[in-house]
Structure formats: structure tokens, C-alpha cells
Amino acid sequence: MMDEKVGRDEEQLVMEQLISFIKKDDIEQFREQFFELHPYEQAQFYEKVTPPIRQKIYYYLSPQELAEVFQALEIDDDTYVEFLNEMDVSYAAAMLSEMNTDDVVDVFHELDDEDRTQYLTLMDDETAEEIHELMQYADYTAGAIMTTEYVSINENSTTRMAMNILRNEAPTAETIYYIFIMNMKKQLVGVISLRDLIVAGENVLIRDVMNERVVSVQASDDQEEVAQIMRDYNFLALPVIDEHKTLLGIITVDDIIDVIDEEAEDDYSKLAGISNFDNFEQGPFAAAKKRLPWLVMLLFLGMLTASLMAQFEDTLDAVAILAIFIPLISGTSGNSGTQALAVAVRGLATKDASNDESKMRLLLRELSTGAIMGLLCALVVTGIVYFWKGELIIGMLVGVAMCCSIIVATLAGSLIPLMMDRIGVDPAVASGPFITTLNDITSILIYLGLATAFIL
């Protein structure tokens, strides 16, 4: 328990108190204490209590109040459905109507068609229509993560009118720190931050103080591109428009942080050869299920290595000492391949290698890098084998094989993700274990091929 934070105890205390209020059916006290918490803390409480306690919460809180809690939840997809099923259908529909549209869409993606239709029928028409439209956008696009709760105003309004609108929309808008400005055709023509609005003073025409160079994205843009723009410009929100420049929605910085986390986790898990991270809470069967596909696929790829080696059985039979250095050569080339892979995947993600010219330059650079590292490792290993075993010929053979393997591995480590990117596949799919297994094959082919040619 020593690495627990001090705050935990206080949290625990508040939780116990809230539960005791519920058990005493003391609505007043419960509500007073509950609303002192931040939505994140409310969500933590809601998520951790038992279903009977949650039943009481549905009774104590209005759908609107629970909406705030529900959209702050950080739970597995299945759990959303579980929680919704606990509620009365009309209560659930009312709550969903009050949530930010982007959060509703996230939840709706987990429901089956029947449930979804049921909720949509019970929601007010306008919201239902909005959500239906948002659900059309493909996953991982700007459209899929945007929300329609933004503040907009006509360009001919004054700053005073803008402040009034803000005051009205403040309780429901996802952010009031940017106001998006439209012309008569409902096209996005400008943006003003609340900061600039405050500095501008009252009774100025919005048109005269707005920023006309609005940075915006299209609904079909990839969420990673959106994240990159937010990062570069340090925006708190970014407008999403269609081809007619009509404002469709906005993406806020908190959603972008989730995107950045998601993408980083995705790259990381793929480098390790896992399709999905298993939650620590899941059992060993669930964990094994997530890792076995890769492992078995790589096992079959590894069988290729074995069958390749079988071709050299005579060589291995004749000079048994050769086998000793196989793991060393294949291991080192595998390591250099993984390094090159990570550099290439990273470079593609950060757009350092965005055009063909820079890709070609990267490949040439990796070839040279591989040659430098290969030569150096070859010298080291030849020296070691000579001084340890007194075998100069074997030492040189191991050295040459290692040098060639490292060059091939470094080149493959960068070429494969670049090729994948070229054909439109996520380059991160080429995982570390995959590259390593592939390099096992090439390095053994090189080593035993050279041995058969020069020693026997």
C-alpha cells in the first residue's frame, strides 16, 4: 500500500459517506455531497458501486444530471450497455438526449440495432436526427469524434450580442472559448476566441474583430491529422466543415488527448505484436486469446526457419560448432531490424517521411546505417570468436554473416513499413516480432549459405 497516494484515503472516505447517505435514503445529503464532486469523480463513484446502489442513483438524479456523469465514464464498451440496461428505457433515452452528441455516438456504436432504434425513437426528433447523421461517419475520422454542441453567431452581430449568446449557451455547449462565425449562407467565415472577445470590448461588429483565417478540417479527415493540427496550433477546439464550408461540428482538445493516447497505445501494442491490450482485470484465457493469434502466426512463420535450416542439415552435421552462433546472428540482426522499424513507423506517424523523395532518402540512410553497424558488430564478433575459440575462419564467417544480416535487417525494417504505408496499410502492423521472425529466416539463410559455400 506504500505507493498509494494520500488522496486515495480522502476519496475512499467520500465514497463511503455517499453510500451511507444512499443506505439511509437521505436524498438531500447525498445530492449535496455528490454535486461537490467533479464529473470525473462522480463517474468514478457511479462506476464502482453495486447495481442496487446505482438503482438508487437513477432515482436520486435527473436524466440531465446523470448525463454529466455518464459522459465522464472511462469504462469498457460492454459496460456502457450493461449500465444502460439497468435503467428504465425512457430514463435512459432522456439521459442520452442530454449528453454531448459525440459521447452519445460512442455509446451507440456499442448497442445493437434494436436498442439503438428504440432509444432514437424515444429521443426528441432534432437530437435523434443529429445523432443519426453523426453515426454515418467512418471510425477514426474527424466526423466520428466531433460534437455538434458549439457556439456560433452571424458575422453581422456585435460583441455584446455574442456575450449574451455565450451566457445562454454556457451550460450546454461543449466549449464556449471559441465562437464560430457564419455568413448569411451559413458558411464558416471566421472564429473569435472568448479571450479576444473580452479584449475587443462591447458593441463592436464581430466581423471587424474576428479571425478570418480559420483553420478547419473536413469530416472525412483522419483523426491523426486532426490531432497533429491541434498539437501544432495549440487550439482548444477545431471546426469541422463540409465541401460547402458549412460548419458540421467541432472537435475539442480533450477528445484529441484521447486520440493521441489511442494512437500511441496502438503503435506500442503493434510493435510488441499484440492486437489489443488486455486489461489487467481480465483473466488468463482472455489475455491468451488476445496474444495467441500473433504468436501462432509467427510460429508458422518460424517453421519456415526450421524447414530452411533442415536444408542445411548436412552442413550442420559436418560442422556442429556452426549451430552455436545461429541465435547470436539472428538475434543481433533481429534487434537492428526492430530498431529500424521503430524509426520508420515513428517517422511516418510524425510525417517526417511524407513524400517519395524523403522516403528514398530514408532508405538510403538506413542502408548506410546498417552497413556501419554491421561492420562494427562483425569486427567485434570475429574478434571474440577468434580469441575464445581460436577459430579465425569460423569467426570471419560469423562476422561476414552478421554484417550482411544486419544490413538486410535494417533495410527490411524500414522498407516494409514504407511499403505498407504506400499501399495504404497502417505501417505499425509490421510488428517487432514479425520483423524479428522474418530476419531469423534471412540471417540463417545468409549464415548457413555462406558456410556451405566456403567451408564445406
User: Between residue 54 and residue 83, which ones bind a copy of itself under the rule CB under 8 A?
Assistant: 72, 74
* Strand pairing class (178-182; 188-193): antiparallel
Residue 177 is a binding residue for a copy of itself (CB under 8 A): yes
Strand runs labelled E in 172-246:
178-182, 188-193, 217-218, 237-241
Cβ 175 to a copy of itself shortest distance, Å: 8
Piece in contact with a copy of itself (CB under 8 A), picked from 106-114, 136-144, 180-188, 319-327: 319-327
Residue 392 is a binding residue for a copy of itself (CB under 8 A): no
Which is closer to a copy of itself, CB of 92 or CB of 417? 417
Separation of alpha carbons 315 and 329, rounded Å: 17
Which is closer to a copy of itself, CB of 208 or CB of 352? 352
Cβ 413 to a copy of itself shortest distance, Å: 9
DSSP state of 191: E
Piece in contact with a copy of itself (CB under 8 A), picked from 95-103, 136-144, 180-188, 269-277: 269-277
Which is closer to a copy of itself, CB of 121 or CB of 307? 307
Residue 156 is a binding residue for a copy of itself (CB under 8 A): no
Cβ 85 to a copy of itself shortest distance, Å: 26
Residue 152 host element (H or E): strand 152-154
Pull the grid cell for residue 441: 529466416
How far apart, in Å, are the Cα atoms of 286 and each of 74, 82, 276, 431? Answer: 20, 19, 11, 21
**Contact with a copy of itself (CB under 8 A) among 306, 392, 429, 455:** 306
Which is closer to a copy of itself, CB of 51 or CB of 284? 284
Residue 320 is a binding residue for a copy of itself (CB under 8 A): yes
Which is closer to a copy of itself, CB of 93 or CB of 428? 428
Residue 292 is a binding residue for a copy of itself (CB under 8 A): yes
Cβ 419 to a copy of itself shortest distance, Å: 14
Separation of alpha carbons 318 and 198, rounded Å: 85
Piece in contact with a copy of itself (CB under 8 A), picked from 86-94, 135-143, 152-160, 436-444: 436-444
Separation of alpha carbons 167 and 364, rounded Å: 59
Residue 224 is a binding residue for a copy of itself (CB under 8 A): no
Residue 299 is a binding residue for a copy of itself (CB under 8 A): yes
Cβ 254 to a copy of itself shortest distance, Å: 4
Residue written as grid cell 486520440: 259
Piece in contact with a copy of itself (CB under 8 A), picked from 103-111, 119-127, 135-143, 343-351: 343-351
**Which residues ranging from 90 to 129 are in contact with a copy of itself (CB under 8 A)?**
none
Pull the grid cell for residue 394: 569460423
Positive or negative CA dihedral for 91, 76, 425, 239?
positive
Cβ 331 to a copy of itself shortest distance, Å: 5
Residue 386 is a binding residue for a copy of itself (CB under 8 A): no
∠ at Cα 293 (287, 296), nearest 5°?
115
Site string for a copy of itself, 365-384 (x = CB under 8 A): xx-xx-xxx--xx--xx--x
**Which residues ranging from 30 to 59 are in contact with a copy of itself (CB under 8 A)?**
36-38, 40
Environment class of 418 (CB within 10 Å of its CB; exposed 0-12, middle 13-18, buried 19+): buried
How far apart, in Å, are the Cα atoms of 265 and each of 136, 418, 432, 454? Answer: 26, 20, 15, 47
**Contact with a copy of itself (CB under 8 A) among 287, 363, 396, 450:** 287
Residue 271 host element (H or E): helix 253-271
Residue 243 is a binding residue for a copy of itself (CB under 8 A): no
Name the amino acid, one letter, at 393.
Answer: I
Pull the grid cell for residue 214: 480559420
Which is closer to a copy of itself, CB of 123 or CB of 428? 428
Which is closer to a copy of itself, CB of 89 or CB of 323? 323
**Which residues ranging from 183 to 202 are in contact with a copy of itself (CB under 8 A)?**
194-196, 198-199
Computed on alpha carbons and rounded to an integer, the radius of gyration of the chain in Å comes to 30
Residues 6+ apart with CB under 8 A from 247: 150, 152, 180, 182, 186, 187, 188, 239, 240, 241
Q: What residues pair up with 431 in beta bridges, in sequence order?
A: none
Question: Under rule CB under 8 A, how many of the chain's residues touch a copy of itself?
Answer: 122
Separation of alpha carbons 240 and 323, rounded Å: 60
**Contact with a copy of itself (CB under 8 A) among 50, 243, 355, 423:** 355
Assess contact for 136 and 153: CB atoms under 8 A: no
